[in-house]
Amino acid sequence: MKEKTYVEDIDRSMYDFRNEDKDAYRLEEGLTEEIVLKISEEKNDPDWVRDLRLESLKIYNSMGLPNWGPSLDGLDINHISTYVKKNAKMADNWEDVPAEVKDTFEKLGIPQAERKSLAGVGAQYDSELVYHNVKDSVAKSGVIYTDIESALKTEYADMIKEHFMKLITPSDHKFAALHGAVWSGGSFVYVPKGVKLDFPLQSYFRLNAKGAGQFEHTLIIVDEGADLHFIEGCSAPKYNVANLHAGAVELFVHKNARLRYSTIENWSKNMYNLNSKRALVDEGGKIEWITGSFGSHLSYLYPMSILRGKGAKMEFTGISFANEGQNLDTGAKVVQLAPETSSVMSTKSISKGGGVCTFRSLVKIGKDAVNSKSAVSCESLMLDSESRSDTIPAMDIRTPYADIGHEAQIGKISDEAVFYLMSRGLSEEDAKTLIVSGFADNVSKELPLEYAIEMNNLIRLEMKGSIG
Amino acid sequence: MKLNKLPVRTFNHIGLNEVNLDYDPGTYENIDFSENGILNLSGHKDAKVTIDVKENESLSVIMNYEAVGTLNVNTDINIAPRGELKLVQIDASEEGNRLINEVNANVGGEGRLNIIQILPGRGDVYSGATAELTGDRSECSMDVAYLTRKTQITDMNYVANHRGKETVSDILANGVLKDEGKKNFRATIDFKTGCAGSKGEENEHALLLSEDVINGSIPLILCTEEDVEGAHGCQIGSLSDDVLLYFNQRGIDKAGAEKMISYGNFSRLIREIDDDVLREKTDKLVSEVL
């Protein structure tokens, strides 16, 4: 009988540290109109935001849980605090951020990354942003990068009202409604016409509080001919009770603009990650999603792209790694409504130690999307027979003038490939490590350098000891 | 009645999780057909057909459907170890009638099931097949050709559950959509724990010939076993310029090329009909419809 070697777990110690909830304002657990109004009051919402919250609450209460996907039985909103605020104002200088919060982000490497390779940074701690800053040169080019609450008090208030929760509406699903009711924090980015940023902007979301939810809203508008790379990172310490993340990301990519949206999701294993992301792309525009899903107890995550302009493009590159106690239901959706649009989805998943990876997708090609193309490719690697890997791709095609291709593969590491590498002098362990590194290579090479290094470290840790 | 349920549900708004059909079955007529030959199902309404294949036995069964109104046929198949069954199902229903066709099969060790479905499209068709590959080294293939035209619905659901070791499945659907035809194709390869060494493949080619067709496809691979190989692929669209040029250089215009390729989907399966009269009749039917 073939002997299996041990594959190590991801070392999460760099994410698992936690701070006490002292100096924090925390609303009681549960979801009631009173709580929603308290959040609204706390945030000094304009009337339309308060009304949207109350309408969203009604929708939330009227909708059921999804009857597909992983079970949400372990999540009870009556045991989630929807708003926790550290007693700190948002700063644009790390020295003005409370020491333990600053220390948290130092450990996560955010200020260092800001100094080295970013055009601006936003850092959210529980329900509110604690730091936001953008380089002078970027600000001078007219780029707006701030929190939504602040932007609502500027000349961009009308722009926000025009776009906020218009792409992801409260009636989309139960957790979009929840988000509409209790959202807090997040970022607003506006890149003016023709402005191309040489360095990325980054938002980092840290949920420290036990039994709490984080509901940040990210709204990005990339105007005609502009170019932006936005990076989103998230993590949390592990608790023995459920935490909830139900953020929303709305992206508007105007004519001939490009937006790359990169995410490394590294939530702790008690997190229910029920995030919604959606992009609307105009003529000649392009949205690129780069997504790494490593954390959370359970995820529902399917970034959606609506290609409404002629020649609009979408690329989705993703990797998921599910380990013991994790059920990562991830994928992407694309709706192609205009001529000559194109979409490419390329995903990889690795299941280990009883973890469950599901790739779930939708390609919808409308009647007017003539001469459009779509290609979907997913590959899954099973590292043992306690784990699970499912592929659930759906296609809805309504024009004959489109070229639609789909392929998927599932399997183990090829014995022939291992033999080939061993015959050239590699040990069996090195051969298998090389094969798995290669398996994830198309994703890591698309990530920003610091994230690529982080991901490669995770893969190397996983493969230490190799696979039997 | 609910039909063609996807083994794992997905987004509800795309309408592929199952079919809710406005039809209440009456009393089922039981038919045992464990022999070589043709089972003609015309004038029936609700029928349960049983086919038992004994150990080391090899059977070839043709089920010829001629629905009047709605014909609802459930076929239960049991293949004993080392048994083999070739089952050819032909929808020869007249225009405007409806066929509900469901197959459930259990395949024993080293047994083999080969299902061929010829659905030339003169009425709505709801067709599904589930093969339980329980025996080690058991195999199944499901090979389907369909044409969906006018306002017809072709709704399909094929499932291969790999349970035994070193089992093999192969699901293939080749079809054409014309006019305002609507087609849903569901295919699932499910590698259950313990089916080590198994392989499964599913492929779909859909040729769309009208701006008013609706094509739904959902090819699933479910897996709880490490030592398996599963793959699926699909190609959906119209004939490429390269293909049209190839035909054009040989004096065949676009319409001729589309007809030839559509006919090719069927002729490969029509050749599998082990009866000269029925083979010719089916060939004529397909030619007429195309």
pLDDT, tens only, A272-290: 999 999 999 999 999 999 9
The predicted model gives B170-192 an average pLDDT of 97
CB-CB neighbors (< 8 A) of B209 in chain A: 400
Cα–Cα dist B142/B159, whole Å: 9
Q: Is A380 in Cβ contact with B240 (below 8 Å)?
A: no
pLDDT for A428 equals: 81
Burial of B146 (0-12, 13-18, 19+ CB in 10 A): buried
Instruction: Tokens 């046929």: give the residue.
Output: B73
Clarify whether residues A396 and A464 are in a common domain.
Answer: no
Cα–Cα dist B193/B215, whole Å: 33
List C-alpha distances in Å: A331 to A75, A159, A325, A375. 22, 30, 19, 14
The string of pLDDT tens digits covering residues A115-161 is 777 878 888 888 887 888 888 888 899 999 999 988 998 999 999 99
Q: Does A64 touch chain B (CB under 8 A)?
A: no
Cα angle: B76, vertex B81, B85; to 5 degrees: 50
Closest CA–CA distance from residue B128 to any residue of chain A (Å)? 18
How many domains are contained in chain A? 2
Q: Is B234 in Cβ contact with A405 (below 8 Å)?
A: yes
Clarify whether residues A355 and A217 are in a common domain.
Answer: yes
Q: Does A254 touch chain B (CB under 8 A)?
A: no
Angle separating helix axes A428-444 and A415-422, nearest 10 degrees: 110
Q: Among residues A280, A254, A82, A303, which one has the least CA distance to residue A185?
A: A82
Pair type for strands B46-53 and A327-336: unpaired
- Identify the band that residue A23 occupies on the pLDDT scale cut at 50, 70 and 90: low
Of A55-64, A95-104, A224-233, A435-444, least confident by mean pLDDT is: A435-444
- Identify the band that residue A14 occupies on the pLDDT scale cut at 50, 70 and 90: low
Clarify whether residues A399 and A296 are in a common domain.
Answer: yes
Q: Among residues A303, A267, A274, which one has the least CA distance to residue A287?
A: A303
The predicted model gives B269-282 an average pLDDT of 95
Nearest CB to B216: which of A382, A392, A396?
Answer: A396
Mutate to test the interface with A, among B9, B11, B162, B244 (most CBs of A within 10 A): B11
pLDDT for A465 equals: 40
Other beta carbons within 10 Å of A171: 15
Closest CA–CA distance from residue A192 to any residue of chain B (Å)? 36
CB-CB neighbors (< 8 A) of B17 in chain A: 68
Q: Are B175 and B265 in contact (CB under 8 A)?
A: yes
Q: Are B85 and B112 in contact (CB under 8 A)?
A: yes
Q: Does A399 touch chain B (CB under 8 A)?
A: yes
Pair type for strands A213-214 and A243-245: parallel
Q: In terms of DSSP H, where are the helices of chain B?
A: 241-249, 254-270, 276-289
Clarify whether residues A218 and A304 are in a common domain.
Answer: yes
The one-letter amino acid code at B227 reads D
Asked, for residue A5, whether it belongs to a domain, the answer is no
The one-letter amino acid code at A362 reads L
Beta strand extents in A176-247 (DSSP E only): 186-191, 201-206, 213-214, 217-222, 227-235, 243-245
Q: Is B14 in Cβ contact with A394 (below 8 Å)?
A: yes
| Tokens at A298, concatenated | 């359970």
Q: Does B54 touch chain A (CB under 8 A)?
A: no
Beta strand extents in B134-270 (DSSP E only): 139-148, 153-162, 168-177, 182-191, 198-208, 214-223, 228-237
Q: Among residues A144, A150, A177, A148, which one has the least CA distance to residue A160?
A: A148
Asked, for residue A10, whether it belongs to a domain, the answer is no
- Identify the band that residue A13 occupies on the pLDDT scale cut at 50, 70 and 90: low
CB-CB neighbors (< 8 A) of A398 in chain B: 213-215
Q: Does B56 touch chain A (CB under 8 A)?
A: no
Residue A458 pLDDT > 80: no
The string of pLDDT tens digits covering residues B13-26 is 999 999 999 999 99
- Domain span holding position A464: 415-468
CB-CB neighbors (< 8 A) of B214 in chain A: 396-398
Q: Is B217 in Cβ contact with A397 (below 8 Å)?
A: yes
Measured in degrees and rounded to the nearest 5, phi and psi for residue A158 equal: -65, -40
User: Going by C-beta distance under 8 Å and a sequence separation of 6 or more, which residues neighbour residue A292?
Assistant: A263, A264, A265, A318, A319, A320, A443, A447, A451, A455
| Tokens at B181, concatenated | 């035809």
The string of pLDDT tens digits covering residues A220-274 is 999 999 999 999 988 787 777 889 999 999 999 999 999 999 998 888 889 999 9
Cα angle: A29, vertex A35, A36; to 5 degrees: 125
The DSSP secondary-structure symbol of A96 reads: G
Instruction: Tokens 């239901």: give the residue.
Output: A329
CB-CB neighbors (< 8 A) of A367 in chain B: 211
Buried b or exposed e, range A253-283, using 16+ CB within 10 angstroms: bbbbbbbbbbbbbbbbbbbbbbbbbbbbbbb
Cα–Cα dist A271/A297, whole Å: 5
User: Alpha-carbon dihedral of residues A428, A431, A436, A439, nearest 10 degrees?
Assistant: -140
Higher-confidence position of A444 and A40? A40
Q: Are B32 and B50 in contact (CB under 8 A)?
A: yes
Q: Is A409 in Cβ contact with B223 (below 8 Å)?
A: no
| Tokens at A378, concatenated | 């997913």
pLDDT for A467 equals: 36
Cα–Cα dist A167/A119, whole Å: 27
User: Alpha-carbon dihedral of residues A362, A367, A373, A374, nearest 10 degrees?
Assistant: 10
Clarify whether residues A56 and A187 are in a common domain.
Answer: yes
pLDDT for A15 equals: 66
Clarify whether residues A312 and A459 are in a common domain.
Answer: no
List C-alpha distances in Å: A120 to A113, A145, A215. 10, 8, 21
CB-CB neighbors (< 8 A) of B203 in chain A: none
Asked, for residue A2, whether it belongs to a domain, the answer is no
Output the DSSP codes for A102-137: HHHHHHTTHHHHHHHH-SEEEEEETTEEEEEEE-HH
The predicted model gives B78-89 an average pLDDT of 98
SS (H, E, C) A355-368: CEEEEEEEEEECCC
Clarify whether residues A312 and A382 are in a common domain.
Answer: yes
pLDDT for B1 equals: 93
Clarify whether residues A333 and A430 are in a common domain.
Answer: no
Q: Among residues B18, B1, B22, which one has the least CA distance to residue B216?
A: B18
Clarify whether residues A429 and A302 are in a common domain.
Answer: no
Residue A114 pLDDT > 90: no
Three-state SS for A392? strand
Cα–Cα dist A206/A14, whole Å: 13
Clarify whether residues A291 and A366 are in a common domain.
Answer: yes
Higher-confidence position of B67 and A468? B67
Pick left, alpha or beta for residue B237 (phi over 0 → left; psi -120 to 50 → alpha; otherwise beta): left
Q: Does A373 touch chain B (CB under 8 A)?
A: no
Clarify whether residues A216 and A290 are in a common domain.
Answer: yes
Q: Among residues A307, A164, A290, which one has the least CA distance to residue A229?
A: A290
pLDDT for B240 equals: 86
Clarify whether residues A96 and A198 are in a common domain.
Answer: yes
Q: State chain B's mean pLDDT as an integer.
A: 95
| Tokens at A449, concatenated | 């350098």
Asked, for residue A193, whether it belongs to a domain, the answer is yes
